[in-house]
């Protein structure tokens, strides 16, 4: 069954759930970055290494990457929400065919059907 033939309530629910998970992840990672920033301010320039872990700069880089990825994912959800409001959600942006509901359940922010997604990933 395609998203076109499905009610918007389930689709809205999928997007709402995904948005909530992403926003929680953004909040967690932001809190970790804030904590790390405090730790970096308290360290001298010569002593950026936590003797029991990785260098603080490496941890900062890792967390920043996670935050950027989560924000990009949230942007995809926002685009899907816009498409849902416009009646375009569940329609492949590459070929115009319906995206199967099973794909949307697995990846609520999917903009393409599986064949087009695979083709574009190459």
Q: For residue 70, is it within any domain? A: yes
Q: How many domains does the chain have?
A: 1
Q: 11 near 90, Cβ under 8 Å?
A: yes
Q: For residue 54, is it within any domain? A: yes
pLDDT computed for residue 55 by the predictor: 79
Which tokens is 68 given? 């950027």
Q: For residue 36, is it within any domain? A: yes
Bigger pLDDT: 77 vs 5: 77
Instruction: State the residue range of the domain holding 74.
Output: 8-89
Q: For residue 114, is it within any domain? A: no
pTM value is 0.78
- For residue range 75-107, list pLDDT tens digits in order: 999 999 999 999 999 999 999 999 999 999 999
pLDDT computed for residue 99 by the predictor: 94
- For residue range 19-73, list pLDDT tens digits in order: 999 999 999 999 999 999 888 777 654 445 556 666 788 899 999 999 999 999 9
- Distances in Å between the Cα of 112 and the Cα atoms of 25, 73, 77, 116 are 25, 15, 14, 6
pLDDT computed for residue 6 by the predictor: 58
Which tokens is 16 given? 């709402």
Q: For residue 80, is it within any domain? A: yes
From CA 81, how far away is CA 68, in angstroms rounded?
20
Instruction: At 91, give phi and psi (nearest 5°).
Output: -110, 125
Q: For residue 19, is it within any domain? A: yes
Q: Which residue has the tokens 């909040």?
A: 27
pLDDT computed for residue 57 by the predictor: 84
How many Å separate Cα 110 from the centre of its chain? 11
Q: For residue 48, is it within any domain? A: yes
């Amino acid at each position: 069954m395609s998203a076109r033939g499905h009610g918007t309530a389930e689709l809205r629910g999928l997007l709402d759930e995904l948005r909530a998970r992403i926003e929680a992840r953004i909040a967690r990672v932001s809190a970790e970055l804030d904590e790390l920033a405090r730790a970096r301010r308290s360290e001298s320039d010569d002593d950026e290494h936590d003797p029991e872990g990785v260098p603080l700069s490496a941890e900062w880089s890792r967390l920043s990457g996670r935050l950027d990825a989560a924000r990009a994912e949230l942007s995809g959800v926002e685009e899907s929400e816009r498409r849902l409001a416009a009646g375009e959600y569940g329609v492949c942006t590459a070929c115009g065919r319906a995206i199967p509901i099973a794909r949307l359940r697995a990846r609520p922010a999917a903009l393409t059907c599986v064949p087009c997604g695979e083709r574009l990933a190459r």
